[in-house]
A and B are shown apart, each in its own frame.
Chain A
Amino acid sequence: MEALFNLVPLVVFLPVLGLLINMLFGGRMSEKAIGTVASAASGLTFVVSVLLGVALWAGHGHAEVVPFAEWIKIGTLDIPWNFRVDTLSVTMMLVVSVVGTLIHIYAIGYMHEDVRFKKDEKRFQRFFVFMNLFIAMMMILVSGDSYLMLFVGWEGVGLCSFLLIGFWYDMDTLGRPSWANSNAAKKAFIVNRIGDFGFLLAGLTMFWWFGSVQFGEVFNKTPFIPESIILAITLFMLIGVAGKSSQIPLYVWLPDAMAGPTPVSALIHAATMVTAGVYLIARSWPLYSAVPNAQFIVALVGAVTALFAATIAVGQYDIKKVLAYSTISQLGFMVAAVGMGAFVAGMFHLVTHAFFKALLFLSAGSVILGLERGHHHLAHHGPDSGQHEEVFDPGDMRNMGGLRKRMPVTFWLYMIGTLALAGIFPFAGFWSKDEILLEAARNYTVVYVLLVIAAFFTAFYMGRQIWMVFFGRSRHAAAEHAEESPKIITVPLMVLAGLSVLGGVLNLPGVHTLTHWLEHTIALAAEHGAEVGGFLALSWGGLNPVVALVSTLLALGAIYLSWLLYGRKPLEAGQKDPLKKILGPIFTGMENKWFVDEGYRAAFVDRYADLGRFLAEVVDGRFWHDFVHDKLIAGTYNWLSKIALDRYADQKGIDAFFNGLGELIKRISASLRRLQNGFVRSYALAVLFGVIAILGYLLLK
């Protein structure tokens, strides 16, 4: 069994192999073959992860560090590339590989159609190369044994995110030539880099205080490091978390990231990459546990994000945008959980969320494809095919309605996802969310209140979505002609649906499978709590009937409320959202994402560009280049040489800039030159002047 640990590098290299095969030979392979290779690479990764899990289980959860290669070694700085196999990392590996594999399979079907709708079939190959690259990077992230290796994966997934958000880089989400998608990709990368900056600072601080960035050494030394330093490190890390896991204030990139193909949204921007922040905090539990102040800040950030994003989700019309804000909100739950020290609860929610949010996204993708097919059908077969050239947004819920009948399988899958997300008993989300709420209720009332309200909103916007998409009458011809998706798309969804239903089994109250599993990595409060002095809550408490009841009732109430607004009297084509009447400007705020993007643009983005222009044009261009160089230095030279080489075309412009020192030296030189007037007598005068000056000096000094 021990030998199995040595398989761990495969979790990285299998996907790399897959991507290399597809990159080098994909051009000559069929779409099926490409998809199969990529899926197989991901699937094998899953197998390896399972084997690692088995090995761990057999070894009673003892963590194993597998040295792999030397990377950076300078003086005291020694950062090898070691793999860490422990229950936490294997949990992440399993989640990534299982969701990843399912999405790979789904994408074979999805991308087959997508590349045809977007009229660039050659990009199919590229998609799977990037997807495999993502799996590899994610695996580096979760399997690394040091903060730096984690950072490598961290940035690597950021790159994949960039590449995949910008997969249709030459158009917008509707397929029109545009900068939109590439802007979204760029935004994601840059905002993530802001987070990475925080991570980097955390790493630098860590190295100089701990002398290492290896997990083991850092955690061992934690008790001996001043609290202020740990506080700084944890808060720097929080910046990283906010970037990657899309928390306030850096969450703005995630909604835009929906520009990527739907499988990407599901895999990267819902199930795996964005949870890396949660993983990071869970991984750093000894650090966070040592500083309660940091824990509270983290929890608060998570809770505020959870509520804030949920409110925005209520006002969205794009099916994927709703899910995107929902993701941000749910990530807020997780961050709040790990912030409170409820690391297991956070991880639990991470796992279940991965299942049901992937399910929701992929189902939404199925819906979108269904509408695309309907639209496509109209364009080619409809009676007025010519008129359907107008821009059609297959993701806009206002174009949907009544899809329950056209796409029954998708509908039921979507329902399961919705119920899981809304936290309805006995779906997976219920268990995991409840654990978080329970911890919040115990520790921070304010966090609890925020999260409960967020849970209410969650159920509400999901209900709203269900009513708008699947019930009522079709509001667009395309929706009338929507077609159900093929098996290759629906089968992986069914698997995910199964996981969404049963995910709660992982950590049922009283049984605590996941807790027991993770406690090998995340130590028990009893052992460490006294020393570290912070919160280290492991969910032993089981089900608190009050908390569970409150949240369930609220969720049901929210769904009922949404039925009142959207279900009872379905939306008609062109009709305004009924909430708009009720909430007025508040809804306008929700619709427009509280104008945060606009605010950022005005406060930072434009200012950055302005300052850049100012520096480039005024400081560097006009001051350093034109004034200091051209006017003061070259201007002086040029004037002196103005008669020479009139063909100095480029210096004529410079001549216009004379002033300052240039002017002074110009005058001096002009008068000097005037002295040289060709008259013998003035030359003699100069000589005499020199003589008088010298004699005068010698006699008078």
Chain B
Amino acid sequence: MMQFDPNDLNSILPLVVLLGWACVLLLVDLFIPKGRKGWTAILAAFGLAISMGLTLGRAGQIGSGFRGMVVQDGFSTFLAVLILGSGLLGIALAYDYMRRMGWERGEFYPILMFSVSGMVLMAQAADLIVVFLALELLSIPLYVLAAFGSPRPDSEEAGLKYFLLGAFATGFVVYGITLVYGATGATALREIVDATFAMGTPSPLLLIGAALIMVGFGFKVAAVPFHMWTPDVYQGAPTAVTAFMAVGAKAAGFAALLRVFVLAFPLLQADLVPVIWALAALTMLVGNVIAIAQTNIKRMLAYSSIAHAGYILMAFVAFGDSAVRADAVASALFYLLVYAITSFGAWAVVIALEKKDGRGLEITDYAGLGRKRPALAAAMTVFMLSLTGMPPTLGLIGKFYLFRAVIDAGQIWLAVIGVLTSLISAYYYLRVVVTMYMREGEPETTREPWLDLTWSLAALATVVLSFLPAALFAWASGAILRLF
């Protein structure tokens, strides 16, 4: 009955390559001597690059496979590129960092690749089963990566916390999927939406199921009140992992949220809007307010990451409104991209200052950076400005796009909360700038080629692309969700 269809593989070709490469690399790594694990990194990067090449090469194609369980469309391409890029940048950050910190182990890179595969799969998922699989495929390696700083207690603690809470959240997702299945008799998004249409008013079972799924992904993207793992895990995990996690996991989480809710649950819009509204508002508020009190830069950036999840959630409020949702999705994707570039840059700077013994992570350690490393400080300033949403950075452009979608959706008060909280955020971002330029100190920094390349490219992109955002806008707005 089941026949092999080459088209099935074709639809997930970059993923297949990635997974295959990861498996092979796991073996190859055995033969790479300790101390030269850089080769593993480079090979992993190659794998990611090939996969990215394939994705880009097939950018225009639209298709599906495995009886519609996975799809390939603009949305998945956009996210796949974003995620693969994050993987590459993660490797660039980890390359010297892991060695410097004494955590260099070859399996790091294949594990990272597995996680990337999960994220890419998530972007393509069109069936709740695949969603679940992708969720686990991206999460389980992340648990390991978070604990990769073992035997440092922070890292292990981060790993276990992430693992326990992640699994806990997965429980909700699974139960949610169960209830949705129970309500509609389907796990494929298309069938769910058909069943919902047939149903007329959504049954409570469906609503609860959808809500539980939302909780699970809310956890992944670190929405309040499911965010509490974030600061601890971000702080404890090796910084390179944190950077990757902050972008990749968030991207995957939003990929799932957007695709599942926009395509499968548009009819729940009326019921869920207040919930998402509250989640977004709370996330922006709590994230920004608590960030003010942070002294540890990793924790601060963690809260910042929570806050930015809140901003993206704003766009998500309009998921069921067919008039504006295309724009909403595009703006969310664009904002994800902006956040990815900026946040990688910021984490790279953090890595440049981090010491083996864990010093260099307090904000006060940044004092005098403006004098000692003008370029590095300038780059950090750019990132902070971008996170605040000031020109001349992508952050402002991202906010422009995002807020337009929110206003277009009629959620003006949510937009007001959004801008007001971004005002609050200015305070703690500026504090970093203040410390770098207006306080005296002797920061110790590290110069590593890949690291330097990462932050300088990120800074350059943040500034330059802000003047030329048209292509990015077009790309994001072309990333339309499709369902087969």
Contact = CB atoms under 8 A, between A and B. Distances in A.
Would A and B touch once assembled, by the CB under 8 A criterion?
A: yes
Contacts of B168: 684, 687
Contacts of B224: 690
A678 B232 CA distance: 7
B165 A695 contact: no
A665 to B, nearest CB: 8
Interface stretch (A34-42, A261-269, A424-432, A669-677): A669-677
A690 B225 CA distance: 6
Interface string A623-665: 0000000000000010011111101000000000000000000
A697 interface: yes
Contact of B161 (A680, A693, A694): A680
A675 to B, nearest CB: 7
Contact of A694 (B211, B292, B428): B211
Contacts, number: 96
Interface in A538-567: none
Q: Which of B165, B228, B289 counts the most chain A CB atoms within 10 A?
A: B228
B409 interface: no
B218 to A, nearest CB: 8
A316 to B, nearest CB: 62
A312 to B, nearest CB: 62
A698 B290 contact: no
A683 interface: yes
A699 interface: yes
Given A698-B211, A699-B208, A644 B431 contact: yes
Contact of B225 (A644, A687, A697): A687
A91 B231 CA distance: 89
Interface residues on B, range: 35 or more
Contact of A698 (B161, B271, B363): B271
A694 B215 contact: yes
A633 to B, nearest CB: 10
Contacts of A675: 228
Interface residues of A, number: 30
Q: Which of A678, A682, A684 counts the most chain B CB atoms within 10 A?
A: A684
Nearest to B160: A680
Contact of B428 (A641, A647, A695): A641
Interface of A is mostly: helix
A488 interface: no
A686 B293 CA distance: 20
B103 interface: no
A58 interface: no
A644 B296 CA distance: 9
Given A689-B225, A690-B225, A645 B364 contact: yes
A691 interface: yes
A669 B293 contact: yes
Contacts of A686: 225-226, 228
A687 B217 CA distance: 12
B431 A687 contact: no
B204 interface: yes
Contacts of A694: 211, 214-215, 275
Contacts of B274: 697
A281 B458 CA distance: 76
Nearest to A690: B225
B427 A690 contact: no
Contacts of B275: 694, 697-698
Contacts of B272: 698
Contact of B363 (A644, A687, A699): A644
A689 B292 CA distance: 25
Contacts of A678: 232
B207 interface: yes
B411 interface: no
Nearest to B229: A683
Nearest to B303: A676
A672 B290 contact: yes
B212 A691 contact: yes
B435 interface: yes
Contacts of A672: 286, 289-290
Nearest to B300: A644
Interface in B94-112: none
Interface string B209-252: 00110110011000011101101100000000000000000000
A270 to B, nearest CB: 61
Contacts of B363: 644-645
Given A690-B226, A691-B212, A697-B274, A643 B295 contact: yes
A663 to B, nearest CB: 15
A644 B228 CA distance: 21
Interface string B272-303: 10110000000000100110111100000000
A507 to B, nearest CB: 76
A641 B225 contact: no
Contact of B431 (A641, A695, A701): A641
B181 interface: no
A687 B427 CA distance: 29
A695 B172 CA distance: 12
Given A641-B428, A645-B435, A676-B231, A691 B289 contact: no
A637 B232 CA distance: 23
A680 B232 CA distance: 10
Contacts of B434: 645
Nearest to A678: B232
A415 to B, nearest CB: 76
B464 to A, nearest CB: 32
B290 A669 contact: yes
A641 to B, nearest CB: 5
A393 B406 CA distance: 81
B384 interface: no
A641 B292 contact: yes
B412 interface: no
A163 to B, nearest CB: 45
Given A683-B228, A687-B168, A690-B226, A640 B212 contact: no
Given A645-B431, A645-B435, A683 B161 contact: yes
B164 interface: yes
Contacts of A687: 165, 168-169, 172, 215, 219, 225-226, 228
B293 A673 contact: yes
A191 to B, nearest CB: 48
B208 A698 contact: yes
A698 B275 CA distance: 8
Nearest to B228: A683
Nearest to B218: A690
Given A683-B229, A691-B172, A698-B271, A644 B294 contact: yes
B205 to A, nearest CB: 11
Contacts of B439: 645, 647
Contact of A644 (B212, B295, B424): B295
B165 A684 contact: yes
Given A641-B293, A690-B215, A691-B212, A680 B165 contact: yes
A695 B228 contact: no
Nearest to B282: A690
A466 to B, nearest CB: 74
A686 B204 CA distance: 23
A60 B204 CA distance: 106
A669 B289 contact: yes
Q: Which 5 A-B pairs have the closest CB atoms?
A: A640-B292, A683-B228, A690-B225, A686-B225, A644-B295
Interface of B: 160-161, 164-165, 168-169, 172, 204, 207-208, 211-212, 214-215, 218-219, 224-226, 228-229, 231-232, 271-272, 274-275, 286, 289-290, 292-295, 363-364, 424, 427-428, 431, 434-435, 439
Given A637-B424, A669-B293, A687-B225, 19 more contacts: A640-B292, A641-B427, A645-B363, A645-B431, A669-B289, A669-B292, A673-B290, A675-B228, A678-B232, A682-B228, A683-B161, A683-B229, A684-B164, A684-B168, A686-B226, A687-B219, A698-B271, A698-B272, A699-B204
15 contacts: A640-B289, A640-B293, A641-B292, A641-B431, A643-B295, A644-B293, A644-B431, A645-B363, A675-B228, A686-B226, A687-B172, A687-B228, A697-B274, A698-B211, A699-B204
